[in-house]
Amino acid sequence: MEEGKMEKLVEGKVAVVTGGSSGIGRATALAFAKEGAKVVVADVLIEEGQETVRLIHQEGGEAIFVRTDVSKAAEVEALIQSCIQVYGRLDCAFNNAGIEGAVAPTADCTEENWDRVIAVHLKGQWLCMKYEIPQMLKQGKGAIVNMASVAGLVGIQGLSAYCASKGGVVQLTRAAALEYAKANIRINVVCPGLIRTAMAERVININPEYAAQVIGMHPLGRLGNPEELAAAVLWLCSDAASFVTGHAMAVDGGYVAQ
């Protein structure tokens, strides 16, 4: 390393980011590239995912886009195969793809909404690990970060399917972390509060009063920024977090400390 030059957090590594077309996924894909990783961006939204890749290339980074529905095993398997074919390895994964789902009391949640939310969040994260872990086992090392939510740690009215899926992701992460710790594969999960993304804006823009109420639920008195969540994911994937596994990290402005 040149004298005076800062070492990059994930220099020379290869990272997969699902849900990389916007918001937290895009911010994290850009952060991975900025910190020296080659990035595989995955999403069902093709144009937006390709735009993330273009932004990475614009900054001098390396990236490809692979259209992927994480709820379908064949597509997740193809994603990881594409990563290996292009870059030869897989060091880091941020399993981030998610949907809002409908807001309704538990008895009014439709079966369609329940099945879709569980399929994308819980089954999707399991499928990602199912195909990421074997490659990391071959390499003898790897780091995975799953995406949950404060809704995986505390209950939120009107979001029974969302809470169930995110709570499931937290427990799935803990089980997998224990299973692969001795194989030097670290698996953690981030639990953000409300982060300023297009999805969040749709939630809080119901009316100004509701927006103030939601923001006020976060002791720091504001929403988080996608870049703040990206920084947490990057740290967990880096060698700086080499003794951290099975951890559910709240990045929530103090929300769950109340």
In a domain, 9, yes or no: no
In a domain, 200, yes or no: no
Q: Which domain holds residue 40?
A: 14-195+226-252
How far is 215 from 222, CA to CA, in rounded Å?
5
Tokens matching residue 144: 């995975």
pLDDT reported for residue 48: 97
How much of the chain, in percent, has pLDDT values that exceed 70? 96
Interval 108-147: pLDDT, tens: 999 999 999 999 999 999 999 999 999 999 999 999 999 9
In a domain, 214, yes or no: no
In a domain, 20, yes or no: yes
Residue type, 114: W
pLDDT reported for residue 211: 74
Total tally of structural domains belonging to the chain = 1
pLDDT at 1 over 60: no
pTM: 0.95
In a domain, 257, yes or no: no
Average pLDDT over residues 34-40: 98
CATH of the domain at 85: 3.40.50.720
In a domain, 108, yes or no: yes
Cβ neighbours of residue 29 closer than 8 Å, sequence gap 6 or more = 15, 17, 20, 39, 41, 52, 56, 63
- In 140-225, alpha helices (H): 160-180, 198-204, 208-216
- In 99-181, alpha helices (H): 111-118, 124-139, 160-180
pLDDT reported for residue 202: 72
In a domain, 128, yes or no: yes
Catalytic residue numbers, as ranges: 162
Cβ neighbours of residue 240 closer than 8 Å, sequence gap 6 or more = 9
